[in-house]
Homo-oligomer: A and B are copies of this chain.
Amino acid sequence: MNQEPQHALADIRIRVQRDLTSYLATQTTYLSEIGSELVPVAEAINAFLLDGGKRLRPLFAYCGYLASGGTDDENVIAAVASLELLQACALIHDDLMDASDTRRGRPSIHRWFEGLHQNEELLGSASRYGSAAAILLGDLALVWSDQMLHKSGISESALLRSLEVHDEMRVELMAGQFLDIHEQALSTQSVARSLKIARYKSGKYTIERPLHFGASLALENRSDRQKYIAIFSEFGLPLGEAFQLRDDLLGVFGDPAVTGKPAGDDLREGKRTVLMAMTSDRANERQERVIATHFGSKTLTNEGIAELQEVIVETGARTHVEELIEKLSSTALDALNREEIESGPRALLIELASTAIKRTL
């Protein structure tokens, strides 16, 4: 690992990709042996998973593993790669719940199967077929993530240690997702509630828990583990919030070519983010009217998007969120300045933190 951090991260990413490819190839064969009808299932998950994604969760987990003293290990790469399959479950189900048409510029899974239903002139409702397929593919991805972890080849004791944090991470993810859909149905916005959702749905799940997962793979001794888990919370929680805030900004101001989502997608959807809660808190009467007219409107035009963007900028919410990201990142990075984290892994974590929250507006 004596490389530039950027190069080392790219190297880990390649190895994660390699293991996902090989695991999925085995599962594709397995499914096709049950029945040829399952080939599209395997193909869809393959395309969904191998076609993109920053692999943030495996990277955080692997860097957490290295930072807590783990030595480079191909089996651990396979173990952390399994987190991408969990993420595939979350995204497939999320797209269905949000009725999103696209993901990374491609059709979302329910839309893809809806299209298959139409092309093959199957019976019944294409939309119901698409939804059912997305529910099951998400479930399958969740089970596969477990299986990939179990078969990763890590030691039995490392596997047993990892299960507790792995389970907690998944419960938190589902809880955070529910808080999120519930929030969208409430009549008021709240910065505090949105921050909590950001913490559970993204922060803990994307950064803190993968780091803990990595520490659990590296450290046999419980008190060592607790020490690193505390450090990683100090680093991961604020960074996770910064990550979600960046995501809020990208959902409003992001370039579709970069986000893979249509411009202003979160605005059309009426997504209750911290950014929008802050905007509402600061809006004057005229700005409130713009929000009431356009936010969450299914027929939102580019002009409407531009008006909303202007309000978010004018109220100072955008600047405030940018400042908050800065502050949270700096708090996060401070947590790495301690002797327990060696300079090599520290450089990796700093580089990775910057990837997670970097500006691609």
Contacts and interface: CB of A to CB of B under 8 A. Distances in A.
Interface of A: 27, 30-31, 34-35, 37-38, 41, 89, 93, 96-97, 99, 117, 122-124, 128-129, 131-133, 135-140, 142-144, 146-147, 150, 156, 159-160, 163-164, 167, 170-172, 174-175, 177-179, 181-182, 184-187, 196, 200
B159 A160 contact: yes
Nearest to A139: B174
A200 B136 CA distance: 14
A179 B37 contact: yes
Given A135-B93, A138-B139, A140-B175, A167 B146 contact: yes
Nearest to A164: B150
Nearest to A37: B182
A85 to B, nearest CB: 12
A140 B174 contact: yes
A181 B99 CA distance: 20
B171 A147 contact: yes
Given A171-B140, A187-B123, A178 B97 contact: no
B99 A128 contact: yes
4 nearest A-B residue pairs (beta carbon): A122-B185, A97-B132, A147-B167, A140-B174
Given A97-B131, A132-B97, A117 B175 contact: no
Contacts of A181: 129, 132-133, 136
A144 B171 contact: yes
B167 A122 contact: no
A36 B108 CA distance: 32
A99 B175 CA distance: 24
Contacts of A167: 143, 146-147, 150
Contacts of A186: 122-123
Contacts of A137: 178
B139 A89 contact: yes
A159 to B, nearest CB: 7
A36 to B, nearest CB: 10
23 contacts: A35-B179, A93-B136, A96-B135, A97-B128, A97-B135, A97-B136, A99-B128, A117-B185, A123-B185, A124-B184, A131-B131, A135-B138, A136-B177, A139-B142, A139-B174, A139-B177, A143-B167, A146-B146, A146-B167, A146-B170, A150-B164, A156-B160, A160-B160
